[in-house]
Amino acid sequence: MSKHFTAIKGVSLLAVLAVAVLVANLANAQTGTPATGTPAPSETMHATTPPPTPPAKPITINWKLHKLDGNVNLTINPDGSSDFSGGFKDKKPYDDWDITIAVKSTTGAVIVYHWEGDASNGVQFSKTGSSAFMKDDFSSFASKHTWSGVYTFHLTKEGRKKHYEEMEAKRKKLHEEAEEAIKKHDEQLLKQKRAEEKAEAQAEAKWEENYASQHPSGGGGSSSGGGGGSSVLSSIGSTVSSAVSDVGSVLGDIGSFF
């Protein structure tokens, strides 16, 4: 999995709006459940401000997951190195897991830690790295920091294919039943099958809308310097945008460590 570091200076009002729109879409998307895959919970640890960390000690964040059998841990060292790790035992066939922790300092600067991967057999991950951004600003994070965490699930490529196969099978069955009703001159049954076909088409359209809102199109998540806030926040992972919004990072600089 590739890693890159991004600093966004002076996030614009457009960036704020981009985050707000994306988070609103995510809230709406939770109402739709795909036919394929296990029920996919999402969970947010809203902005939390723990006690200060001694300047020479690492910042540690421990998140006990309430909707899954697992936990997530983040250790940030004074030299800017970090270890983002954890997972859960629950098996989620055809699902990918997308998780983000955003940490905000006293200056308003925010650094974001993100991981995404297959959850078919549960998840155990450990992602290490180093950030010059965090090394330079560690004291402002250690003296007081606020963090927020978000995770969600979405279908893998195989899961999406299986979903379409299931939908196609349903459409074919309903069409055949409607054709049979025509042959039997059964107007009542035909009316029922036409209504079922319409309902199925509407459900599929809603599913597509929800899926698209969770997977916004865009070209990668890297940018640097000023003026790039809106495009970056609208193209990076959904949990990143949600965690960024929850921790209130749009008030200052954002450092993204993926």
Q: pLDDT tens-digit profile of 181-214?
A: 899 999 999 899 899 889 888 888 887 777 666 5
Q: What is the mean pLDDT of residues 11-20?
A: 30
Residue 84 has pLDDT above 70, yes or no: yes
Same domain, 85 and 105: yes
Least confident range from 40-44, 127-131, 164-168: namely 40-44
Same domain, 145 and 201: no
User: What is the domain extent for residue 38?
Assistant: 5-154+218-257
Is position 179 within any domain? yes
> pLDDT-based confidence at 126, cuts 50/70/90?
very high
Is position 77 within any domain? yes
Same domain, 84 and 117: yes
pLDDT of residue 6: 35
0.85 surpassed by pTM: no
Same domain, 245 and 203: no
Of 157 and 11, which is predicted with more confidence?
A: 157
Same domain, 198 and 227: no
Contacts of 90 (CB under 8 A, 6+ apart): 68, 69, 70, 119, 122
Work out the angle at residue 244's Cα, subtended by the Cα atoms of residues 243 and 247, and round it to the nearest 5 degrees.
80
Same domain, 128 and 107: yes
With CA atoms as reference, report the closest residue to 49 among 111, 112, 108, 105. Answer: 105
Domain count, the chain: 2
Between CA 24 and CA 74 the distance in angstroms is: 27
Residue 225 has pLDDT above 90, yes or no: no
The residues that bridge with 152 in the sheet, in sequence order, are: 98
Q: pLDDT tens-digit profile of 21-65?
A: 233 333 333 333 344 544 467 788 888 888 888 878 999 999 999
Same domain, 81 and 163: no
> pLDDT-based confidence at 81, cuts 50/70/90?
very high
Same domain, 86 and 150: yes
The last residue of one of the domains, among 207, 226, 241, is 207
Is position 213 within any domain? no
Q: What is the mean pLDDT of residues 120-146?
A: 91
Residue 13 has pLDDT above 90, yes or no: no
